[in-house]
Structure 1
Amino acid sequence: MSTLSLRDLSVAFDGTPVLNGVDLDVEPGDLRFLIGPNGAGKTTLVDAVTGLAPATGRARFGAHDLLGKSVHRIARLGIGRTFQTATVFEELTVAQNLDIAAGARRSVGTLLRRRTRLPESVSEALETTGLADVAERKAGELAHGQKQWLEIGMLLVQDVQLMLLDEPVAGMSHDERQATGELLRRIGAERTLVVIEHDMDFVRSFARSVTVLHAGQVLSEGTVEQVQADPQVQEVYLGRTTTASQEA
């Protein structure tokens, strides 16, 4: 596994800085949560790493420079991401979605026919994500949480080594959030995860480390306990010190 290393990473839109000199290291096997107020630059950071936002500075994954590379070239390096709204093929089954993501080169007619045997990577992803029982259900019929798990499964079948997940538990029930956290722990044993999240209960339960962004810069880093105790974090993100324990 490789380290994600960012140095002086900066992004500006129409002359307005969104990221301003971010330095960040995410070590192999980390389950890193990015938190911070709206507009802090969290999604823009992920966009920059995955080639969706032009950036300056340096971004490296292992021995590979990322800035200036296309989205597809970055993906081929083993980097994948999800979005706040799951992007799946809703008219196809769960298994077919995973099959497409795995890169099976089959005609549309063959794809739409029921397979008697799934590729091993697809079967493993179904088991890992807990979707084996709904493998033949159309993705559009899934519950909200299941769609997010499917999107994570689509990264698994591509053997993504660095997963960047944008608010994966937004809108989920308590049980779905818990199941998602346990899923992240399972898949995080063999890859590196960076998770954008606002739900501090979820962060407390599952984060191995936390980076707080504010106004496009790193405000604080450390364990959940260290970050929550930081007066600057309490002031700009968690709320006034007197209410921080309730909101964090």
Structure 2
Amino acid sequence: MHPDALLVRDLSVSFDGFKAVSGVDVSFAPGELHFLIGPNGAGKTTLVDALTGLVKGTGSASYGGKELLGLRSHKIVRAGVGRTFQTATVFDQLTVLQNLDIAAGLHRPAWRLAFARHGVPAAVDEALEKIGLSDLRHKPAGVLAHGQKQWLEIGMLLVQDARVMFLDETVAGMSADERAETGELLRRIGRERTIVVIEHDMDFVRNHADVVTVMHAGKVLAEGSVAEIQANEAVQEVYLGRTAKGNVHA
């Protein structure tokens, strides 16, 4: 087990008696691209919601010596765990640079926020370069293409120094070129971080996943490499489906 892994044990989430997530054990380690897949309603987003403080969960989720369950969302962010959503949550009227600068302010002491800033913080410049938006830094975020908005959200996590990133369907609606660029971006930033992607695009999963966790009915159905998941009969039955020749398709 990697010493810097986010370790989840017996995590459950209930809504009015319905168990949306039930007894999940999973670990997310730095240096690998970890994908969460499964049918709609499998509990993927609810699991991430519990790990980022948006819903209440029971069990344990430890990271960096801290128990995340029970912490408020902003304290989880400060602990180094961040997320994106299916719909990009950027400030459309503000520039790319301003969006990143606001995100970077998360870790500045409150008393310093009232003072004028001089120049662009190094972390913001570095994030702009990594997400490929340096040339668009002064453009309003609202004019960005769909894929570029998703990259900006990832950049906002970078300047917050998120060491664990949960990305919810990042490539949904992207062009083939944008998906390829996103895969390269995740590979670059994931070398020293923990990247967990909720995804339905099986081609993207096949091309980029190091580890795949399959959820079904609120539980972990299977976990392993792409090849192991594709060969798993239970996964084929409940999610991937079968062709007439028995080959997995998506």
Question: TM-score, structure 2 length as denominator?
Answer: 0.93
**What is the aligned partner in structure 2 of residue 144 from structure 1?**
146
Equivalent residue, structure 1, for 2:231: 229
1:51 positional shift: 0.6
Does residue 151 of structure 2 align to residue 135 of structure 1?
no
2:93 aligned residue: 91
Residue 107 of structure 1: how far off its partner (Å): 5.7
Within 5 Å, which residues of 2 pair with 1:107-186? 117-186=119-188
Contact 1:11 1:54 in 2 (8 A): yes
* Residues 1:42 and 2:44 are matched in the alignment: yes
| Residues 156-209 of structure 1: per-residue CA shift (max 9 Å, x gap) | 001110000000000000000000000000000110111000001000111111
Give CA-to-partner distance per residue, 1:50-103, whole Å, 9 cap, x none: 010101111111311011111011111100000000000100000000000000
Deviation of 1:30 after TM superposition, in Å, equals 2.1
Using the TM superposition, give the Cα deviation of residue 240 of structure 1 relative to its aligned residue in structure 2, in angstroms.
2.7
1:11 maps to which residue?
Answer: 13
Q: Percent identity?
A: 64
Are the counterparts in 2 of residues 231 and 241 from structure 1 also a CA contact under 8 Å? no
Q: Quick one: distance in 2 between partners of 1:241 and 1:63? A: 46
Paired letter, 1:126: L
Alignment of 1:75-90 (within 5 A): 75-90=77-92
Contact 1:168 1:197 (C-alpha < 8 Å) held by counterparts:
yes
Amino acid of the structure 2 residue aligned with 1:44: T
Change (3 A) 1:238 1:190: same
Q: In structure 2, how many angstroms separate the alpha carbons of the residues matched to 1:197 and 1:80?
A: 17
Question: Residue 203 of structure 1: which of 194, 205, 209 is its match?
Answer: 205
Describe the superposition over 1:25-59 as per-residue Cα deviations: whole angstroms up to 9, x where unpaired: 11222210000000000000100000101011111
How many residue pairs were aligned? 243
Tell me if structure 2 keeps the 8 A contact 1:44–1:53.
yes
SS at match of 1:96: helix
Alpha-carbon distance in 2 for matches of 1:241, 1:20: 31
TM-aligned CA distance change 1:137 to 1:63, over 3 Å: same
What is residue 192 of structure 1 aligned with on the other side? 194
Letter of the structure 2 residue corresponding to residue 56 of structure 1: T
Amino acid at match of 1:45: L
List alignment gaps of at least 5 residues for structure 1. none
Matched, 1:73 2:80: no
Q: Please report how far the alpha carbon of residue 243 of structure 1 lies from its aligned counterpart in structure 2 after TM superposition.
A: 7.0
Say whether the 8 Å CA contact 1:234–1:244 is kept in structure 2.
no
Is 1:25 the counterpart of 2:27? The answer is: yes
Work out the CA distance in 2 between the residues paired with 1:62 and 1:101: 22
Letter in 2 for 1:122: V
Given the superposition, is the C-alpha separation of residues 77 and 244 from structure 1 closer, same or farther in structure 2, using an over 3 Å criterion? farther
Give the RMSD, CA atoms, in angstroms.
Answer: 1.7
